[in-house]
Chain A
Amino acid sequence: MLHIEEKRRNENGLQLHFIQSKKYKTLNIVAKLRAPLNRETITKRALLPYILNQGSKRYPSKPELQLKLDDLYGAVLSVDGSKKGDNHIISIRLELANPKFIPEKTAIIDDGIRLFSELLLDPNAANNSFDEKIVEREKNTLKSRIQAVKDDKMNYANMRLIDAMCEGEAYGLHVHGYEEDLQEITAANLYEYYHSLIEEDSLDIYVLGDFDEDEMSRKIAAMFERIGNKVRTVTQSNTIKKEIQTKEVIETENIQQAKLHIGYRTNTTFKDEDYATLQVFNGIFGGFPNSKLFINVREKNSLAYYASSRIESHKGLLFVFSGIAPKDYQQAKDIIQLQMEAMKKGDFTEAELQETKDLIINQLLETMDHSQGLIELLYQQVIGDRIITPEQLINNIRQVTKGQVTMLATKIEEDTVYLLTSEGGKTNE
């Protein structure tokens, strides 16, 4: 039941990933376009998926595209841009009903792959330019998306923490891009960038479901022929170890609840042998409702409305999030730092260790039941440039010992303490 086999095929330079599964009544096709994070291109990359999503040459308007999707048995198309380590990734996803369960004969796979490839390779463009109206409209939507980050204070505080922590590093770039760069973007120069992206990005295509692999491979290769036989050099992010100086950043906004977020360097990434240990560490420290942060910051001291931690797997970061009353800043910070000290001293029981491992494994298994969750999990291997199957990952988690967790904890360094607090409020009352 657990066993997931991912078959990798290289069709003329096109990296295909096939995962057979009878869990689903649908087929999921996902394209991942990856390039190094870069200030010059980030805003264009943030905008582009939403342009491609508006239609292709054959279905140039949203209603026409939607009717085609309806015709393909209510196929669902979605796109987004995301940041993983020092990479920017554009994802285009198409979910199709599996023809095995469709009561009549249908060419849904051919039509679906064709539509998918057209959305990516044959966009709605003419005279070396996208449609200006569409680009202007989507620029406005992206602008709202950039501005909306400020409305969600938890998200905003996290962005500001990373701004301070990763200044000058690629990971510090904003995933939605920058408002000031938007003005420079035109339908023509975006189209020009689109071309270089299609040429240069590394492209991985995932197909998940119950399907014939040879047939699928042939079909995809045929549709993507145009770009298939180029050699794609995968740019690996160069992680230069940065000199760490612990810093504290305090900002104010007109808010009631203060956000105390702390960033750490874990010095462990997906590539490393002790990655599973890092996951267990995070589970005991702040990953679950029975973790140290939740119990001590929230339950025992009633200081926070929320208190948790999360790891960034490819850059090697750990973030603590908490929402506190502005006056409790010092006390909350002390308690969070105390929990980190406790982790370094191995101040947790074998029972807690076991319970946390069970929770992580349960979470991974549930993720693997979801088609998109599974694909994201598998794609980690591409980003991390290390083959480790989910099954191996689960096994590794099972074998983590208390000693390993403590050892890993000593590698973790505090980098930046960030506080977003109320205006005029003294923080150290």
Chain B
Amino acid sequence: MNKVLHQDIAETIFSEKLDNGLTVYLLPKTEMAKTYAIFSTDYGSIDQRFIPIGKQEMITVPEGVAHFLEHKLFEKEDHDVFADFGKQGASANAFTSFTKTAYLFSATSNIEENVQTLINFVQDPYFSEASVEKEKGIIGQEIKMYDDQADWQSFMGTIKSMFKNHPVNIDIAGTVESITDITKDDLYTCYNTFYHPENMTLFIAGNFNVEKMIDLIQTNQAAKTFKKMEKLVREFPDEPEAVAMKENKIIMPVSIPKCTIGIKESTTALSGEVFLKKDLLQSMVVDHYFSKGSVFYQELYQSGLIDTSFYFETTLEKNFGYTLIGTNTDQPEKFAEKVKELLNSTNTESLTIEEFTRMKKKKIGQLLRAMNSLEFIANKYIHYHTIGIDFFDVIPAIQALSLDDVNDFIRNWIDEDRLAVCTIAEK
């Protein structure tokens, strides 16, 4: 097992790639009472076209399969996995995102039993025609629930207006129509390909014994057999740099309109240092311009265009990235116009060293604070790991950023063609 001590943040992480390909990370923190474990596959809603394990031909699967699969894994022939965790004092959960599907629990007792339960239920699928049919009704309801949620519609509406071809533009849960096509065989095809240990990471953080834990995992995995995994081939369509729709208006019942500006940040595959640099600068720059201490925020606030619902978020993934800036407002056109004007004005700006130093400090402090959470560390570690970055190297990477780096970024940040506006209104 590899052991790496990160002295600067006082964390020691153990890792091992098992014979079957599974990557295991153990982060013992015995001062905590809790343990958090997450078993994650590098497979999300965007992984629609791929060559299934043991086959040669590229296939396309229905929209929403990854999420459907997540639901079905909890159901076994004769028992319910949630109840198993409950009896062992753990609370379990799962999620599907654009790029990942993950199963997790947290507990303060029976940690080893709970880890066994977690690994075993994820690695023991039970899909039948009848249960797949039954699930279509349940997920159909979930999709309809999302259809009524203005915030979700605003989010997906902005994503769709930015991305023309990339499958990030499809709803994670699929549509009521697309899920009717899902069969038991689709589930097995996706499961066997993407839930292969080679494509998965197990991260355990908290109060446990490292030696015992790795033994348990090794023994558990050695007793199971998996097909040999060649390289996993996925295919993504070409995505233009410009947005798909500059304006997108969605009519639905809302008491006050919602308006979101999307910045299409990335359309090409990035990894390693290039990725990390862009990832950090993107989040620091958006924060600099739109957080509460900023001039832009004050301007928007003073002019009454935003209220407490104002938010911004930014995401960079392996082959796509975006920033969203949104609010509830009764003047959506004015808000959009103002934000675009502010964004466009950044091209000619340069930050001072004082400003940039403050931005770096803030980012480092935010990371340290977030690292109080086991969940945050585990989730982020896996996220960066799939892109070839060690999360524990992020703070030194922030320090290494230079004023030229950020000013170069800002000069090329905004381009009218990469901006989209999505409005949700009653009429």
**A366 CB contact (under 8 Å) in B108, B292, B365:** B108
Nearest-neighbour CB distance to chain A for B145, whole angstroms, equals 16
Per-residue CB proximity of B36-72 to A under 8 Å, as 1/0? 0000000000000000000000000000000000000
Supposing A66-B291, A70-B293, A103-B399 touch, asked if A26 and B10 sit within 8 A by C-beta, the answer is no
Task: Tell me whether B31 and A103 are in contact (CB under 8 A).
Answer: no
Per-residue CB proximity of B174-207 to A under 8 Å, as 1/0? 0000000000000000000000000000000001
Nearest-neighbour CB distance to chain B for A120, whole angstroms, equals 21
Query: For A359, what are the chain B residues with a Cβ–Cβ distance below 8 Å?
Result: 89
Whether a CB of chain A sits under 8 angstroms from the CB of B5 is no
Query: For B363, what are the chain A residues with a Cβ–Cβ distance below 8 Å?
Result: 74
**B372 CB contact (under 8 Å) in A66, A75, A362, A371:** A371
Whether a CB of chain B sits under 8 angstroms from the CB of A274 is no
Per-residue CB proximity of A70-111 to B under 8 Å, as 1/0? 111111100000000000000000011110111110000000
Whether a CB of chain B sits under 8 angstroms from the CB of A413 is no
Per-residue CB proximity of B358-384 to A under 8 Å, as 1/0? 110111111011011000000000000
Whether a CB of chain B sits under 8 angstroms from the CB of A403 is no
Whether a CB of chain B sits under 8 angstroms from the CB of A15 is no
Whether a CB of chain B sits under 8 angstroms from the CB of A257 is no
Supposing A103-B395, A365-B34 touch, asked if A358 and B364 sit within 8 A by C-beta, the answer is no
Task: Tell me whether A101 and B9 are in contact (CB under 8 A).
Answer: yes
Supposing A25-B9, A66-B292, A70-B362 touch, asked if A76 and B109 sit within 8 A by C-beta, the answer is no
Task: Tell me whether A63 and B292 are in contact (CB under 8 A).
Answer: yes
Residue ID in chain B nearest A359 by CB atoms: B89
Whether a CB of chain B sits under 8 angstroms from the CB of A126 is no
Task: Tell me whether B32 and A362 are in contact (CB under 8 A).
Answer: no
Report the Cα distance A102→B366, complex, angstroms: 11
Whether a CB of chain A sits under 8 angstroms from the CB of B233 is no
Whether a CB of chain A sits under 8 angstroms from the CB of B237 is no
Whether a CB of chain A sits under 8 angstroms from the CB of B107 is yes
Query: For B399, what are the chain A residues with a Cβ–Cβ distance below 8 Å?
Result: 103-104
Residue ID in chain B nearest A365 by CB atoms: B33
Query: For A76, what are the chain B residues with a Cβ–Cβ distance below 8 Å?
Result: 369
Query: For B294, what are the chain A residues with a Cβ–Cβ distance below 8 Å?
Result: 63
Query: For B349, what are the chain A residues with a Cβ–Cβ distance below 8 Å?
Result: none
* Number of inter-chain CB pairs below 8 Å: 101
Query: For B8, what are the chain A residues with a Cβ–Cβ distance below 8 Å?
Result: 101, 103
Query: For A371, what are the chain B residues with a Cβ–Cβ distance below 8 Å?
Result: 372
Task: Tell me whether A72 and B372 are in contact (CB under 8 A).
Answer: no
Q: How many residues of A contact B (CB 8 A)?
A: 38
Whether a CB of chain A sits under 8 angstroms from the CB of B93 is no
Supposing A62-B292, A67-B358 touch, asked if A101 and B10 sit within 8 A by C-beta, the answer is yes
Task: Tell me whether A1 and B369 are in contact (CB under 8 A).
Answer: no
Task: Tell me whether B293 and A25 are in contact (CB under 8 A).
Answer: no
Of the listed residues A1, A23, A70, A73, the one surrounded by the most CB atoms of chain B closer than 10 A to its CB is A70
Whether a CB of chain B sits under 8 angstroms from the CB of A2 is yes
Whether a CB of chain B sits under 8 angstroms from the CB of A22 is yes
Task: Tell me whether B32 and A25 are in contact (CB under 8 A).
Answer: no
Task: Tell me whether A74 and B361 are in contact (CB under 8 A).
Answer: yes
Whether a CB of chain B sits under 8 angstroms from the CB of A237 is no
Query: For A101, what are the chain B residues with a Cβ–Cβ distance below 8 Å?
Result: 8-10, 368
Query: For A71, what are the chain B residues with a Cβ–Cβ distance below 8 Å?
Result: 358, 361-362
Whether a CB of chain A sits under 8 angstroms from the CB of B268 is no
Query: For A62, what are the chain B residues with a Cβ–Cβ distance below 8 Å?
Result: 292-293
**A23 CB contact (under 8 Å) in B9, B31, B361, B368:** B31
Nearest-neighbour CB distance to chain A for B148, whole angstroms, equals 16
Residue ID in chain B nearest A141 by CB atoms: B308
Report the Cα distance A311→B321, complex, angstroms: 47
Query: For B358, what are the chain A residues with a Cβ–Cβ distance below 8 Å?
Result: 67, 70-71
Nearest-neighbour CB distance to chain B for A103, whole angstroms, equals 5
Whether a CB of chain B sits under 8 angstroms from the CB of A146 is no
Report the Cα distance A207→B18, complex, angstroms: 43
Whether a CB of chain B sits under 8 angstroms from the CB of A388 is no
Residue ID in chain A nearest B293 by CB atoms: A66
Whether a CB of chain B sits under 8 angstroms from the CB of A21 is yes
Whether a CB of chain B sits under 8 angstroms from the CB of A376 is no
Query: For B116, what are the chain A residues with a Cβ–Cβ distance below 8 Å?
Result: none
Chain A residues numbered 346-388 whose CB sits less than 8 Å from any CB in chain B: 358-359, 361-362, 365-366, 368-369, 371
Query: For B369, what are the chain A residues with a Cβ–Cβ distance below 8 Å?
Result: 25-26, 74, 76, 95, 97
**A1 CB contact (under 8 Å) in B30, B107, B366:** B30
Query: For B368, what are the chain A residues with a Cβ–Cβ distance below 8 Å?
Result: 25-26, 73, 97-98, 101-102
Per-residue CB proximity of A216-234 to B under 8 Å, as 1/0? 0000000000000000000
Query: For B366, what are the chain A residues with a Cβ–Cβ distance below 8 Å?
Result: 74
**A103 CB contact (under 8 Å) in B29, B33, B293, B396:** B396
Task: Tell me whether A362 and B364 are in contact (CB under 8 A).
Answer: no
Supposing A1-B33, A74-B365, A75-B365 touch, asked if A362 and B293 sit within 8 A by C-beta, the answer is no
Query: For B364, what are the chain A residues with a Cβ–Cβ distance below 8 Å?
Result: 73-74, 97, 102-103
Report the Cα distance A67→B366, complex, angstroms: 14
Task: Tell me whether B365 and A369 are in contact (CB under 8 A).
Answer: no
Task: Tell me whether A25 and B89 are in contact (CB under 8 A).
Answer: no
Whether a CB of chain B sits under 8 angstroms from the CB of A156 is no
Whether a CB of chain A sits under 8 angstroms from the CB of B12 is no
Whether a CB of chain A sits under 8 angstroms from the CB of B315 is no
Chain B residues numbered 56-114 whose CB sits less than 8 Å from any CB in chain A: 89, 106-109
Whether a CB of chain A sits under 8 angstroms from the CB of B298 is yes
Task: Tell me whether B292 and A362 are in contact (CB under 8 A).
Answer: no
Supposing A1-B31, A73-B361 touch, asked if A22 and B10 sit within 8 A by C-beta, the answer is yes
Of the listed residues A69, A73, A100, A366, the one surrounded by the most CB atoms of chain B closer than 10 A to its CB is A73
Whether a CB of chain B sits under 8 angstroms from the CB of A24 is yes
Task: Tell me whether B31 and A362 are in contact (CB under 8 A).
Answer: no
Query: For A362, what are the chain B residues with a Cβ–Cβ distance below 8 Å?
Result: 89, 107-109
Task: Tell me whether A63 and B293 are in contact (CB under 8 A).
Answer: yes
Across the A-B interface, the 6 shortest Cβ-Cβ residue pairs: A73-B365, A66-B293, A74-B365, A365-B33, A74-B362, A97-B365
Given contacts A25-B369, A74-B366, A103-B395, 6 further A-B contacts (CB under 8 A): A1-B31, A25-B368, A70-B362, A98-B368, A101-B9, A103-B399
Task: List 24 interface pairs A-B (beta carbons < 8 Å), by A numbering.
Answer: A21-B31, A23-B29, A23-B31, A23-B32, A23-B372, A25-B9, A25-B371, A63-B293, A63-B298, A66-B292, A67-B293, A67-B358, A72-B361, A73-B361, A74-B366, A74-B369, A95-B369, A97-B364, A98-B368, A102-B368, A103-B396, A358-B109, A366-B34, A368-B33
| Residues of A in contact with B (beta carbons under 8 Å apart) | 1-2, 21-26, 62-63, 66-67, 69-76, 95-98, 100-104, 358-359, 361-362, 365-366, 368-369, 371
